[in-house]
Amino acid sequence: MQQLFVFIRKEFYHVFRDRRTLLVMFGLPAVQILLFGFAMTSEMKNARMVISDNARDVQSQQLINKIKASSYFTISEAVTDYRDVERAFKKDEVKCALIFPAGFGNDLLNGGRAQVQIITDGSDPNTAKTIINYLTAIITEYRQQQFPAAALPYKITPEIRMLYNEEGNGSLNFIPGVMALILMLVCTALTSVSIVKEKEMGTMEVLLVSPFKPVLVLISKAVPYLVLSFINFTLIVLLSVFALHVEIKGSIFLLFLESTLFIITCLSLGLLISNTTSSQQTALLICMMGLMMPTMVFTGFMFPLENMPWPFRVISNILPSRWYYIIIKAVMLKGLGFKYIWKETLVLAGMTLVLLTIALKKFKIRLQ
Amino acid sequence: MTAEKVITCKDLTKKFGDFYAVNRISFDVARGEIFGFLGANGAGKTTAMRILCGLSYPSSGEATVAGFNVYKQQESIKKNIGYMSQKFSLYEDLSILENITFFGGVYGVSRKEIKTRSQDLLERLGLQQQAKKMVGELPLGWKQKLAFSVAIFHRPKIVFLDEPTGGVDPVTRRQFWDMIYGAAASGITIFVTTHYMDEAEYCNRISIMVDGRVEALDTPANLKKQFSAADMNEVFYQLARGARRSGE
Amino acid sequence: MSPLPFILQKEFRQIFRDKTILAMMFALPIIQLIILPLAMNFDVNSVNIAVVDHDHSAYSRQLIAKVLSSGYFNITGSEPSYPRALEHIEKGEADIIMEIPTGFERNLVREGAQKIALSVDAINGTKAFIGSGYLNAIIKDFDENLPLNVTATAAGVGNIDIAYSNWYNPRAESKYYLVPGILVLLLTLIAGFITALNIVKEKETGTIEQINVTPIKKWEFIAGKLIPFWIIGMVVFTLGVLVCRFVYGILPQGSVALLYLFAAVYLVALLGFGLLISTFCDNQIQAMFVAFFFMMIFMLMSGLFTSVESMPPWARTISNLAPITHFIKVVRMIILKGSGMADTSSELAYICGFAVVLNAWAIWNYRKTS
């Protein structure tokens, strides 16, 4: 046991001496969570629109003002020529266009029926759909305001309540996902170079000669990074709470416990990678190139997992971050207790055991 | 007739903050000399050598290498010198021939010349069969010998060797010094640092650095007489005894 | 004779000798490009909804049936009370709860107004928002088509007919939008990381000192690193374009030559970026973390998945400072809209600017003498 501490202490020195790397290891995830927490949102705002108002009457102006007043759209320009509309789209200056025919107001007031044309940039079908929905809603609202008589006599109003996100914070969807993503990538990368670096630098022999059990060597490599990652996680949580105003609805203790488990899972994955690659470069490339995008896609915070064909759902099940994402949402944002996440916790624990076992096996082989 | 001075330095200093790695050293090296630059680890040898190679700016003082100023004419210096570092000299993932071609070409040797000279080199070292072998697969002794040959491939005026025989067996060390003599004989000045005191005997003149200063500068014979020592080890011991920086 | 040909020869030899890295450089991005977009689906076609019907009237049953028949929704359960339905959400089985109040039908007829409570799992993001949008529309539709309303509506007053046109993506497939963007991202990951790691490795092993002591000029050393990786980058890009064409059937509306022009300039900018990172880092771990930092920003803030306009102004500035944002924009413009040189010239200027600044900075930073 004494020996283990000696080893662990040595590893700590290695890690904490490299100031620059330390700065980079802590600083960057912290900055990231702030950036993404503030910047990413699933809401649509400021969609640029070009308006071609061929009517130029009171009614068209009223409608335009209403659109201007909403935060969903930004009017980029008002043109008259249809070709200007085309040009605006081709230059990617706008995402949609609203066209009023001449005599709009007249048709509306006297004829009871007028037309407008909405053109959307279908490049991103999702945005296009959302734009259509919002714009249609604004037009409908305008109609109801101007012509109360046209309102439905029997009105059913849906009342929408946002659960777990009363302020309707659009970033809240992403924060747990980004946390899972950052933790997974960082923790895995940290340990992924630990063993292979020794091999590259030629200090593996030291380990070979030592009387320590291989499993202790592995553990000693992971422990400093466990501490580091834990501090990192705490930092991220603090930033989320105080800078991003995320409320931790559930048990903080449970949150930290589960996160520690997840960190250990990722460190184990890193150890496994470290034992199967022959150079630091390869290990790092696997972590960065190989893990980054799949983690983002298969964790489930960007794209709904249920939509994916079953082979992908299988892949997603192998990813630790996918399970952690469920846990963190449940505990941090929904305030649920352990009985709702015991299954996910079990999965993570199981994964850790499997990863460590394989890593250990490979390490023993390597020592020979 | 005074031999041409290929390296001169006067009050050369390099400091890092308050720490004087190299503290006002002055010496000259004549053309064709084998100059031994001795001292304990941490005495400042490598720092001084890096300045002379144009890898580091001095804090103060003057120095010229091959007639070029170390402050302003580093690129010219580099064209005229060869270098063999302690840490590394050749690319392990390239073959012997590929390494030679690269370094030769980088120093401006024409492809035709590279071909002839490399054949020569391989013959002299007896490595013709292994020309395509990866340098990483060579044993250390051969790597060092090869590295030296590559360092002088472009016939530089001066070649700087930083602890070239570290970790190598005595027989190979002897062979290595034979190669050094050969190079010196053809007019190349050798500037070599080492902490093997017996190698000091092989040099024309040596200097010994202690705590950033040059504490001795003369031929080995004179120094032994001066310090009434039986060998260079003794000389060094007497000088370095009071040193505050004695390496790891 | 310039050392450059010799440098290039050495670099290529080293690159091709390391089979693992070589495989990763090509295989990783291409495999991911083929597999990942298949998994990326923004389309919401199955939202899970738990229903609480306190009314059990004809209207409430009709409404629920209408919701089901829309095909968008999957009813996970019909619960007698809200707390029971909430459990569906807590367990992650449902995204929305629709609660129809007691006396819904009767009160609607009597008082002319009723509310239906929709509780949305707001953490489930996109799915829930879109789902609630559909639900909204379905309820409104149901409302308008109630016999009561149809007979009583004052038709012919203030109707605004909307004609919808959707340009550039007739079948509204997200793949045209996503796949090119992913190709750009993967290319960026490869080019950026590899360059940075490669040079830092030389620093770590000490081989860079051997270079510094030779007469190799700064620009020659850097060109020696850029050129091979630029070529590899272009090859990866070409492979990616082929995947787009043959695996996804994406044919650019615009000029392929223009696409390549942008790719060429973009790669120079990107490699310069990797280079710049390497001048600041001492070892591979640092380089990786710094590169990782920027890659994450590129991935999440470049407009690849979430729109740039929706971000707060400061975030938009950051996004626009990243070369990738512009390249993704352009790639989409060329492929989907057939935008030409004139339309994309400002973006080209941006990317050129980046290429110049980043490389100049890197060259300036790289010191042969310390």
Q: Chain C: give the shortest CA distance to residue A212, in Å.
A: 27
Chain C touched by B222 (CB under 8 Å) = no
Residues A108, A113: Cα–Cα separation, whole Å: 5
Q: How far apart are CA A94 and CA A260, in angstroms?
A: 46
- Whether B120 and chain C come into contact, CB under 8 Å, resolves to no
Give contacts of B85 with chain C, Cβ < 8 Å: 206, 209-210, 213
Q: Could you tell me the pLDDT band of residue A243, with boundaries at 50, 70 and 90?
A: confident
Q: Tell me the nearest-neighbour CA distance from A349 into chain C, angstroms.
A: 20
Q: Which of B226, B230, B202 is nearest to B216 (CA)?
A: B226
User: Is B81 at the interface with chain C, CB within 8 A?
Assistant: yes
Residue count (chain A): 368
Q: What is the tens place of the pLDDT at every residue in C136-186? A: 888 888 888 887 777 655 566 777 888 888 888 877 788 888 899 999 999
Probe site for chain C from B52, B69, B86, B102 (most C CB atoms < 10 A): B102
Question: How close does chain B come to C223, measured CA to CA in Å?
Answer: 14
- Asked if A41 and C144 come within 8 Å (Cβ–Cβ), the reply is no
Asked if the Cβ–Cβ distance from C44 to A168 is below 8 Å, we say: no
User: What average pLDDT does chain B have?
Assistant: 88
Q: pLDDT tens digits, residue range B124-133? A: 888 888 888 9
Q: A307 contacts in C (CB within 8 Å)? A: 41, 43-46
Determine which of C367, C369, C370 to mutate to test the interface with B (most B C-beta atoms within 10 Å): C369
Q: Does C144 touch chain B (CB under 8 A)?
A: no
Q: Give just the sign of the alpha carbon dihedral A352, A354, A360, A365.
A: negative
CA Rg value for chain C: 28
The pLDDT of residue B248 is 39
**Contact residues, chain A, for C109 at CB < 8 Å:** 154
| Beta carbons of C163 and A116 less than 8 angstroms apart | yes
pLDDT for position A208: 67
Interval A131-146 mean pLDDT: 85
**CA–CA separation, C209 and B54 (whole Å):** 11
Query: Is the pair C, A in contact (3+ CB pairs within 8 Å)?
Result: yes
Phi, psi (degrees; rounded to nearest 5) at C98: -110, 120
What is the rounded average pLDDT of the residues A296-312?
85
- Do the Cβ atoms of C215 and B57 come within 8 Å? no
Tell me whether residues C207 and B83 touch, CB distance under 8 A.
no
| pLDDT, tens digit (0-9, with 9 covering 90-100), for C185-198 | 999 988 888 888 88
Mean pLDDT of C105-129: 83
Is B88–C207 a contact, with Cβ atoms under 8 angstroms apart? yes
The share of chain B scoring above pLDDT 70, in percent, equals 96
Q: Is the pLDDT of residue C370 over 80?
A: no
Residue given tokens 């790669």 in the structure block: C267
Chains A and B touch (3+ CB pairs under 8 A): no
Q: What is the pLDDT of residue B246?
A: 57
Question: Sign of the CA dihedral B187, B193, B197, B199?
Answer: negative
Distance (Å, rounded) from C-alpha A104 to C-alpha A109? 9
Residue B247 has pLDDT above 60, yes or no: no
| Contact flag C36-A294 (C-beta cutoff 8 Å) | yes
A119·C136 Cβ contact <8 A: no
DSSP C298-322: HHHHSSSSS-STTS-HHHHHHHHHS
Question: B102–C10: do the CB atoms touch at under 8 Å?
Answer: yes
What are φ and ψ of residue C356, in 5° steps? -65, -50
Do A127 and C307 make contact, defined as CB atoms within 8 angstroms?
A: yes
Annotate C79-114 with b (16+ C-beta within 10 A) or e (fewer). Answer: beeeeebbebbbebebbbbbbbeeebbeebeeeeeb
Taking residues C31-54, what's their average pLDDT?
Answer: 85
| Pairwise CA distance, residues C207 & C201, whole Å | 9
pLDDT digits (tens, 9 = 90+) for C5-27: 999 999 999 999 888 888 888 99
CA angle (A308 as vertex; A306, A310 as ends), nearest 5: 95
Residue B191, pLDDT above cutoff 90? yes
Helix (H, G, I), strand (E, B) or coil at C73: strand
Residue C56 has pLDDT above 60, yes or no: yes
Cα atoms in the Cβ-side hemisphere of radius 13 Å centred on C117: 18
Give the residue from A84, A86, A123 with the most C CB atoms within 10 Å of its CB, the best one to mutate.
A123
The two structure tokens encoding residue C155: 């038709």
Query: Is A168:A312 a contact under the CB 8 Å cutoff?
Result: no
Q: Say yes or no: C370 contacts chain B, CB-CB below 8 A.
A: yes
| Residue C7 near chain B (CB below 8 Å) | yes
C-alpha B11/C-alpha B26 separation (Å) is 5
The dihedral of CA A225, A285, A182, A253: what is its sign? negative
Helix (H) or strand (E) holding A182: helix A174-192
Spatial separation of the C-alpha atoms in residues B226 and B243, rounded to whole Å = 19
Backbone angles phi, psi at C129, to 5 degrees: -60, -50
Residue among B64, B30, B43, B80 nearest B205 (CA): B30
pLDDT value, residue B151: 93
Residue A257 has a pLDDT of 92
Beta-carbon pairs below 8 A across chains B and C: 76
Closest residue in A to C157 (Cα) is A112
Whether chain B has a CB inside 8 Å of the CB on C223: the answer is: no
What's the N-to-C CA distance of chain B in angstroms? Answer: 44
Report CB contact under 8 Å: A152, C285: no
What is the per-residue DSSP string for A268-317? HHHHHHHHH-SSHHHHHHIIIIIIHHHHHHHHSSSS-GGGS-HHHHHHHH
pLDDT tens per residue, range A52-92: 888 888 888 888 999 988 888 988 878 878 888 888 888 88
* Chain B: touching chains (3 or more CB pairs < 8 Å): C
3-state secondary structure of B244: coil
Q: How far is CA C65 from CA A169, C75, C232, in A?
A: 32, 10, 57
Q: Please, which pLDDT band fits residue C239 given cuts at 50, 70 and 90?
A: very high
- Contact, C352 vs C270, CB < 8 A? no
Q: Does C317 touch chain B (CB under 8 A)?
A: no
| From C17, C217, C369, residue closest to B57, measured CB to CB | C369
* Chain A residues close to C338, C-beta within 8 Å: 90
Q: Which residues pair with B68 in a beta bridge?
A: B65
**Tens digit of pLDDT for each residue in A21-64?**
788 778 888 888 888 888 877 777 888 999 988 888 888 888 89
**Averaged pLDDT for residues C255-274:** 93
- Establish how many alpha carbons lie within 13 A of residue B184's alpha carbon, considering only the half-sphere containing its beta carbon: 21
Contacts of A108 in chain C (CB under 8 A): 158, 160
Distance from CA of B146 to the nearest CA of C (A): 15
What's the predicted TM-score (pTM) here? 0.86
- In the stretch 61-80 of chain B, residues with CB closer than 8 A to chain C read 74-75, 78-79
Put simply, the answer to whether C10 touches B87 (Cβ < 8 Å) is no
pLDDT digits (tens, 9 = 90+) for A314-346: 999 999 999 999 999 889 888 888 888 899 999
8 Å CB contact of C20 and A294: no
pLDDT by residue (tens digit) across C304-362? 888 888 888 888 899 999 999 999 999 999 998 888 888 889 999 999 999 999 999 99
Neighbours of C41 (CB within 10 A): 19
C18 touching chain B per CB within 8 A: yes
8 Å CB contact of B74 and C17 = no
Of B85, B98, B101, the CB nearest to C210: B85
Banded pLDDT at B1 (limits 50, 70, 90): very low
Q: Does C369 touch chain B (CB under 8 A)?
A: yes
CA dihedral over B158, B159, B162, B163, signed as positive or negative = negative
C87 touches chain B (CB under 8 A): no
Instruction: Kindly indicate the confidence band of residue C276, based on its pLDDT and cuts at 50, 70 and 90.
Output: very high
